[in-house]
A and B are shown apart, each in its own frame.
Chain A
Amino acid sequence: MPHNIIIASIGYKRPEYLKESLDAIMAMDNMDAPIRIFLDLLPDNTLHPEVYALAKSYSPHVLFPKDKQGCNGTIKSALAHCFSIGADAVLVVEDDIILSVDALNYVKWALTHHGDNPSVRNITLWESLHPFPDQNKVVMQKRKFTCWGWVALKREWSAMEKAWTTDRHDTHEGSWDVVMEAHLGGRYELAPTVSRARNIGEKDGTHRGAAMPVSQANCVVADYYLAPIEKPVYVILGRFGDIYMVCKKIQNPSIVCCSKRFVEVMDLFPQHEVVVMDNDILDPVKAASLCAAKYPTHEIIVCQLDQQPSELCKPFRNYQAYQEYYASL
């Protein structure tokens, strides 16, 4: 089924990056998507002249606001505009994102096979881990939001627009992508195992400086397949009672990480796999990082910390009880 995809290229004041990014877009296989270039103004409410001239050389459709909007506002305006002129999906490419040659093919495949999948909130093109070295064509569902080359879906735009950040000062906490990740609603992004994008923006970025270039792999379209959703990993470094109460509430077979000293409780839950931590690992965050290394593509849920899901944990309401647990281990 054909999709009306519009590519939204976002520029500001880095012409050298924007050029490389636009060149990569134009070089994509089967490049038949219209492109709109959205520029933000400098603090004095003028356009960066070099950036504007460059943008005009790639597309007649260069859009910019009357007043400076900041990164958050620019991307929101870009999406709103593209959906208002009939896009089903908008491929958002910031000026420091370089797409792979087969990126658009991947996007089209993803929209065809998962554009109507209600558990998928958006499609991303970037992936750092390359978790399945022998399976370059695998596509994963991840409970994340990744902004380095991503596709917004029209069916999701209304909810996204409502949740969009109101931060006008470009802080990290108020960054649009951080806010988007906070409003996942329990759903997933579709991500390739081999990245279809890389970030070259090592200098002068708005929210983050460091870039993480990764290798690209050109795959044949329609050969992708969706990996099953991985079992989540629950890290529970409490005692018997804590492990028991959490496991009792986990609905689906999962992976449970607990201390060696209390692993006996898992005899009562044969449906779950167990990862045993040494007794001297008392810090759930450390345990979680070890689990993340062991299960790079799995969702890691740390129990008994401030961010624990309250519906799952806290068999004892009193946090002092937890402190006692840890103190006496």
Chain B
Amino acid sequence: MAWVNAIVQGILTGGLYALFACGLSLLFGVMKVVNLAHGDLATVAAYIGIGIIAAIHVPFLWSVPIVVVIMAVLGYVLQRSLIQGAISRGELTTLIVTFGLSIVIENGLLQFFTANSRGIGVGSSLISASFSVASGLQIAWLDVAIFGLAVVVLLSLQYFLSASKYGRLIRAVADDREAAQLSGADYRHVFGICAALAFATVALAGIAYGMTTVVTPTTGTDTILLFAFAAVVIGGLGSLWGTLVGGIVLGVAQQIGAQINISYELLAGYIVFLAVLVIRPQGLTARRSQS
């Protein structure tokens, strides 16, 4: 039963990892930007959530849409200013600029929030509540809720991309920026909308992480960015549902590793990550290569 438990917990953790990864995947898929500040932005979202709850005493659930909107606006603004400027100067520049952003954010958070770890208080009853499926298989409601949130986020993103006007433009711009311009689309605005979407998912990821455990100013690069990368690469670059597959594979690998020996948790995840890179570098869900 311990193994079944490890697999079930791993699958549920995969939902959180998918939340980490889908924004990263979206930015890369559309703009070819590898956002090295991705994890730190999730941490920022968590801190904003902590700050809002503490400052204006809103109930936890109210703080979520506020943080999502703040992060989405931040995403649009950052894209149109810093990241767009980097894109115009070549793909490598985006790496340097987002790396710089990551350092600035971490040190800014250290300055304002100190290195102490903080969590998003939701009331201990919700965090610790769980139900028993069988003896030795306890499932936390919070994990189920986060997994459900991840699925809802991915479904909404997919619906938006396939059915809405701007979703269509995002796909068109991802295919051929210049041809989209010839159709009258300002790709910089489309990029901005795409970044706003990605940052909205980053906000949810940060809040979810802050609820399941605690954040410190360096959590972003230590944990979230690495797991997001691993999930994206395992699942397949640029594929939305691939992030869920990748997240689940990563989560299950970590839990099984931990089951063998608690110190193998992270190691097992990265071994799977490397194995996928070697055996199937296009990722598990990538379609046959086009053209």
A binds B: no
- Which residues of B are at the interface with A, using a C-beta cutoff of 8 A? none
